[in-house]
Amino acid sequence: MKNDIFEEQYPLFPIDTQSKVSDDKTTSDETELVSFRELVPEITDTGYLTHAIVSYPAKFIPQVVRYAINTYTKEGDWIIDPFAGSGTVGVEAYLCKRNAILFDLNLFLNHIMPLKVYRGKERLKIESLGNLLDGMIKNNTHRFTPSWSNVNYWYAPEILELLSQYWGYIHNIEQDAYTGIIKAALLKVSKRFSYTEHRTPKLARSKRKLATIEELLTENWREQLIDIVYDHSFKTLNRINDFVTLTRHHNNQVDFHGGVDSSYIDLPRECDALITSPPYLQAQEYIRSTKMDLYWLGHNDEEIQTLSRLEIPYRKADRIIHTKTLDNIRDKLTRQDLCNRLDSYFCHTINALENTMNRLKPNASACIFVGNPRIDGITVELWRILVEYFTERGYQFEKVYEDRIKTRQLFGVRKNKNPDGMKSEYLLILRKTTV
């Protein structure tokens, strides 16, 4: 999966193509082996259009979302995603003339969605963006330093001063699409020119990166930083303009709500489908992965820490989920900390799914994309556990698609053919049968 926001090639894809039926044989009586990239050939780049404006860990690939939209919804339907992440479902829904409601614990969603689903009908102007960038470079009036108790730990003083100048300018002018574009570029350089390993999700200060920054400070680092800001800003503008060209006549809606717990939120309406990809069992710290971004975007320690404590590894289960498969796994675990993590994961993941699926219309589909991770050497069949839980609560098991993982690129620095030991990912389809 490519997350590189400097990807240059991205074609304009038709948005009314119907998914093809797979002729692949099933791997068992329960799973149907498919390749979603083959089923949705019109999407050849996972970062096309606005999908790659910002980096985000473990993105939901658009081919899976497009397949679910084409197969299980119709134009004008409402789709809900309780684990919205980087907003892939919202982008694909808008492109396909569906409406979407997105929820995520991470406040980052509120900042990126106005760009990723830009609803303006006129193309943005290169000249306007250029003038704003020039003004930022020349400005020397305002400063913005993140409300982050250890910000100095992550930056060389001269780099922090320059970033504070640029962010000060952009935070103190009228906010619009152009300022959003520049913020996306500033987020890139704010991480790249920090002491953290900028191609890994979590903050990780290393000797290698410290040495890189020290060497960079002996060079023309200011010019390099400025070049990246200009380059990324104009590429983002072009992506948004291509999005406008495709969606100029679209009038559907994408509502997004970051910083909320979808387990307990009151939903404003009934929906025609759920399409989502819950966090991985062993990798759910998305707020900690984006906290540097959140600080520069204006959030403070208290806000970020409060939401971080609600992430699954740090949150106790408020009930214990029981299914045949899950109970068998729990009985095999010998470490209490792993039992606690398992209980926390299924409690809060199912809480969010159940809360949102309760607002599905009768006969609506729930499309849930998951992997089969391992915990203490034991494979956890997430899709099977979800089937066992929800078929006892008014949902019919329709099918499960198995998509083999071949190669996934994570933040451009490491190639992990089987993340968390997984060889496949699964799209589970449940249908609501109760009123």
Q: What is the pLDDT of residues 220-256, one digit of tens each?
A: 999 999 999 999 999 999 999 999 999 999 999 999 9
pLDDT at 420: 46
* Whole-angstrom distance, CA of residue 308 vs CA of residue 277: 19
147 touches 300 (CB < 8 A):
yes
φ and ψ at residue 78, rounded to 5 degrees: -105, 130
pLDDT at 283: 62
Which band of pLDDT confidence, cut at 50, 70 and 90, is reported for residue 45?
very high
Helix 126-138 vs helix 157-171: crossing angle, to nearest 10: 130
* Whole-angstrom distance, CA of residue 66 vs CA of residue 94: 11
pLDDT at 251: 95
pLDDT at 411: 40
Which band of pLDDT confidence, cut at 50, 70 and 90, is reported for residue 177?
very high
- Give the residue, 355 or 283, on which the prediction is more confident: 355
46 touches 9 (CB < 8 A):
no
* Whole-angstrom distance, CA of residue 378 vs CA of residue 253: 42
* Whole-angstrom distance, CA of residue 219 vs CA of residue 227: 14
Percentage with pLDDT > 90 across the chain? 77
Give the sign of the dihedral formed by CA 132, CA 133, CA 138, CA 144.
Answer: positive
- Give the residue, 31 or 231, on which the prediction is more confident: 231
In tens, the pLDDT along 91-140 reads 999 999 999 999 999 999 999 999 999 999 999 999 999 999 999 999 88
Which band of pLDDT confidence, cut at 50, 70 and 90, is reported for residue 412?
very low
pLDDT at 59: 86
Q: Among 12-21, 77-86, 180-189, 406-415, name the one with the lowest average pLDDT.
A: 12-21
Which band of pLDDT confidence, cut at 50, 70 and 90, is reported for residue 423?
confident
- The DSSP letter of residue 287 is H
- Return the CATH architecture of domain 31-113+252-292+300-432: 3-Layer(aba) Sandwich (3.40)
Average pLDDT over residues 135-157: 93
pLDDT at 347: 96
DSSP string, 30-79: SEEEE-HHHHSTT---TTTTTTTSS--TTPPPHHHHHHHHHHH--TT-EE
Q: State the pairing for strand pair 271-276/254-258.
A: unpaired
**Continuous H helices in 172-315:** 177-192, 207-216, 221-247, 286-296, 301-308
pLDDT at 287: 87
In tens, the pLDDT along 5-15 reads 223 333 444 44
Q: Among 22-36, 180-194, 241-255, 418-432, name the one with the lowest average pLDDT.
A: 22-36
Residues 6+ apart with CB under 8 A from 209: 195, 196, 197, 198
Burial status of residue 215 (CB atoms within 10 A of its CB: 0-12, 13-18, 19 or more) = exposed
Which band of pLDDT confidence, cut at 50, 70 and 90, is reported for residue 421?
low
Average pLDDT over residues 274-295: 87
Burial 261-295, CB ≥16 within 10 A → b, else e: bbbeeebeeebbbbbbbbbbbbbbbbbbbbbbbbb
* Whole-angstrom distance, CA of residue 118 vs CA of residue 113: 8
pLDDT at 422: 67
Query: H or E element: which one contains 258?
Result: strand 254-258
Query: What is the domain partition of the chain in residue ranges?
Result: 31-113+252-292+300-432, 126-247
149 touches 299 (CB < 8 A):
no
167 touches 174 (CB < 8 A):
no
Average pLDDT over residues 33-61: 93
- The residue among 183, 161, 188, 185 whose CA lies nearest residue 170 is 183
pLDDT at 303: 94
281, pLDDT greater than 70:
yes
65, pLDDT greater than 90:
yes
3-state helix, strand, coil in the chain (%, to 5): 45, 15, 40
386 touches 377 (CB < 8 A):
no
For residue 102, CA distances in Å to 58, 99, 392 come to 17, 10, 26
Taking the alpha carbons at both ends of the chain, their separation in whole angstroms is: 39
- Give the residue, 364 or 422, on which the prediction is more confident: 364
Write down the mean pLDDT value for the chain.
Answer: 89
Q: Among 37-51, 77-91, 162-176, 307-321, name the one with the lowest average pLDDT.
A: 307-321
* Whole-angstrom distance, CA of residue 322 vs CA of residue 195: 44
pLDDT at 357: 97
- Give me 29's structure tokens: 């009586």
Please count the other Cβ atoms lying within 10 Å of the Cβ belonging to residue 213.
17
